[in-house]
Amino acid sequence: MLGETARTWLRRWDEQQERYSPDREERFQVIIDVVALSLERAGTTSPPRLVDLGCGTGSLAVRLAGAFPDADTVGVDGDPLLLGLGEEAVSGTRVRLLERDLTAPGWADEIGPAGTWQAAVSSTALHWLAPDELVTLYRSLAERLRPGGVFVDADIRPPAADPYMFELGRHIRARRGRRTGRRGREEWAEWWKVFLSAPELAALAEARARSPIARRTFNEPHGLTAADHVGLLRDAGFSTAATIWQCGDDSVLVAVR
């Protein structure tokens, strides 16, 4: 474990992420509120299975563990470097972190059988997947979630395909960032540049260089609108889907199995 070194980088990660989502903590709370209602409606007494997709450093998984300490919470990510920090974040909780590629067949097999997941959640992670990869992922989630289970995705997505609405969504989020004082924080690319060259993280950086994620090409975010996602989710087998929280192009989308 990296101890205080990891905790320092975790704080820096959270601050950097708030540059792009000024209401990041509120988004986390909205996700928790959705999961809580889903659990209440399910009425089950057994520990629920909650899965954080693209969990990164475990920011969301830790908050889920705090809200649902008895849950079987699993964080999945393909980046061993971020997961190395995440191990420090989740220490003392029941969260399990797995290094898996969400686009690879069988990534979910050891998490739990079909129809047993209560919730699959994600925060600012799935926009890197290509549309065809999202289609496959959504189908997999529809198979894994129990009836009434939820998929909750907090991410940056255009409110509409219209170019003006695309610009307006980004503008509103940027203005929110300035009002909260978070717009001037460290940029994502700069964080990664310093992060990968930090001597204390050399072992994790080497592990990342050997992993499949180092060979993955990260294209520009796919730009799918909320309506596009709703259509894909319905086609995948979800009964309903809608945006339930939004500030500009920063939103939380919920789909019910």
For 94, counting Cβ atoms within 10 Å of its Cβ (0-12 exposed, 13-18 middle, 19+ buried), the class is middle
| Domain presence at residue 230 | yes
Domains identified in the chain, total number: 1
| Domain presence at residue 257 | no
Q: What is the mean pLDDT of residues 110-119?
A: 93
Q: What is the mean pLDDT of residues 50-69?
A: 97
- Straight-line distance from the first to the last Cα atom of the chain, in angstroms, rounded to the nearest whole number: 38
Strand positions, DSSP E, the chain: 49-53, 72-77, 96-99, 117-123, 145-156, 240-247, 250-256
- Give the whole-angstrom CA distance, residue 201 versus residue 5: 9
What is the extent of the structural domain holding 213? 4-104+113-246
| Domain presence at residue 155 | yes
pTM higher than the cut 0.75: yes
Query: How much is the pLDDT for 1?
Result: 53
| Domain presence at residue 55 | yes
Q: How confident is the model at residue 176 (pLDDT cuts 50, 70, 90)?
A: very high
| Domain presence at residue 251 | no
| Domain presence at residue 252 | no
- Give the whole-angstrom CA distance, residue 241 versus residue 93: 31
Q: What is the mean pLDDT of residues 153-167?
A: 94
Q: How confident is the model at residue 223 (pLDDT cuts 50, 70, 90)?
A: confident
Strand 72-77 and strand 240-247: the pairing is: unpaired
- Give the whole-angstrom CA distance, residue 22 versus residue 6: 23
Q: Residue 96: which CATH number?
A: 3.40.50.150
| Domain presence at residue 238 | yes
